[in-house]
Structure 1
């Protein structure tokens, strides 16, 4: 099944988010690869300086101020470090009382829990929601042990869920977080009631070569005007939107400048691996400047039996923000269908 929703005018907040998502993916495409070449040994994500962390923390707090107030904040220990998780509890006593499973959101690179600010208001209430900052990424989580492979990303997610006493949950991942969520579902299927992948990078289709070419400008001594153009091309937006400053974009810029992330590149999963996942899987793809693979990724997902597979008109890699109004009720209905 393929769904083609009618396009909606982009909200002002969604337009501002375009630069943010462009920066996130661009940094992962090229900057992390350059670090891997220069320092191939496994490393732990860390702040370059206390001053840099303080500058980032101020920007992070400003971005978090745009989110609804969490019910609880958790710092969950795992063998790789501590995961900062924010919880928005269900009304009236929690999930076990109303039969609705919780939802866990896995963020894209450098965006952490604040990236879901446009989406959370649609879902807070009936079921408990969890959003975290990833280990090995800028945010309030900390890494203490290096990753040996991308599979370790799935493992810290699994240990986080166990630490929160979450037996089963609906898992939602965007961009790099979509790749992490897909690998977690592959390795730990019993924990996943359903899997929602929003513009997941690499796991369905390889990234387009043009993204590597545009991204290379971000680490070369090129004029800022060229770098702004590259970000616009990657994000599918305009130069004016790239140059806007928002709490979220400031946070991302501070993270990119002050945090050193370990390099871990996901791989494209095989047909057999996808077919081995018994939980329901839905895929949401951007129609413009998709980094998930666009129509080719959608075609492959349909062929593998994923349902629904939705290509969203007038959206780019910033899909969760751009389609927030429609995704709200649609995903709630999807989760309700698979609560059993």
Structure 2
């Protein structure tokens, strides 16, 4: 399962950096979209309850969301790159039926959202989530983000803290510290016309996993591989937030990092502990960048407990 998230980082961490002018994300072919749709449907079929599908209008396009009903303040789930709303299928069975859940396909990235205008900055991207909450008549939400989705969640919280009941960041990239230098090297290798064995090695190095795990087949791996190759993602690069931006966050914050391999930066845990002494910071010793899947059983329990605590005055 880890390769699903590893692949998207390897491919996008270099292509996003090299993109000079923002455009509109789009599927490169109807065949790629059909393959993605099939893998997405296969993953959703494993869930105990089928979601309601929503199309939410924003200035930059229509955001597609999966919705499960529940009670209390809702949860907004923002996935990593090239995965979309189905990234959370291993976590969702533990969360469905409690709070209202909204799993989004971010604008400009693979999924079923339709981008109309370019996203010129990370701030514009964050503001699109505000429009989503407004359209859904959500006053505040518990915001959860993984990888690039974690970066978007953090940006949204700094710009609109009054709309965030709690903030859970799982292996967020760039917003705490720059990517490790080795990531750029192996990401470049993965995008070159090299033998498949070299690319598999690069993906394994980035994800802190084995070549055998990289080569393992699963609906999640097929979906994200199709997305990373078949969708032309057009997204602004997240930026590292300064100390004052982090200190200004007054909602409960949870940060979870992989101990075996992390793309959040070597000093991410220490920095957040220093800037946000009340935050819950956990480094999972055997965790990788694919943390939500690595420890989905634990997060099925820990995140609802975190949300309940955040609700307590």
- Pairs within 5 Å for 1:95-134: 95=71, 100-134=72-106
Q: In the alignment, which residue of structure 2 is the partner of 1:261?
A: 233
CA distance in 2, matches of 1:81, 1:161: 14
- Pairs within 5 Å for 1:52-201: 52-90=32-70, 95=71, 100-201=72-173
Structure 2 residue aligned with 1:304, among 249, 255, 275? 275
Structure 2, unpaired ranges of 5+: none
- Larger mean CA deviation between 46-55 and 308-317 belongs to 46-55
Structure 1, unpaired ranges of 5+: 1-16
Q: In the alignment, which residue of structure 2 is the partner of 1:46?
A: 26
- Larger mean CA deviation between 63-72 and 312-321 belongs to 63-72
Query: Normalised by the size of structure 1, how large is the TM-score?
Result: 0.88
Q: Give the SS at the match of 2:239.
A: coil
CA distance in 2, matches of 1:83, 1:143: 8
CA contact (8 A) 1:283 1:309 kept: yes
CA contact (8 A) 1:63 1:251 kept: no
CA contact (8 A) 1:207 1:293 kept: yes
Q: 1:70 to 1:188 in 2, by over 3 A?
A: farther
Asked if 1:20 corresponds to 2:4, the answer is yes
CA distance in 1, matches of 2:311, 2:37: 37
Asked if 1:337 corresponds to 2:288, the answer is no
Deviation track 1:259-283 (CA, whole Å, cap 9, x = no partner) reads 1111411111000011111111111
CA contact (8 A) 1:70 1:86 kept: no
CA distance in 2, matches of 1:81, 1:145: 7
CA distance in 1, matches of 2:184, 2:76: 30
Asked if 1:238 corresponds to 2:214, the answer is no
- Pairs within 5 Å for 1:206-221: 206-221=178-193
Deviation track 1:220-257 (CA, whole Å, cap 9, x = no partner) reads 12111000000011111111110111111111111112
Query: Normalised by the size of structure 2, how large is the TM-score?
Result: 0.96
Alpha-carbon shift at residue 65 of structure 1 (Å): 2.2
Alpha-carbon shift at residue 53 of structure 1 (Å): 2.0
- Count of paired positions: 311
Alpha-carbon shift at residue 54 of structure 1 (Å): 2.2
Deviation track 1:10-50 (CA, whole Å, cap 9, x = no partner) reads xxxxxxx111111111122113334x1xxx22200011122
- Larger mean CA deviation between 66-75 and 273-282 belongs to 66-75
Q: Give the SS at the match of 1:321.
A: helix
CA contact (8 A) 1:154 1:183 kept: yes
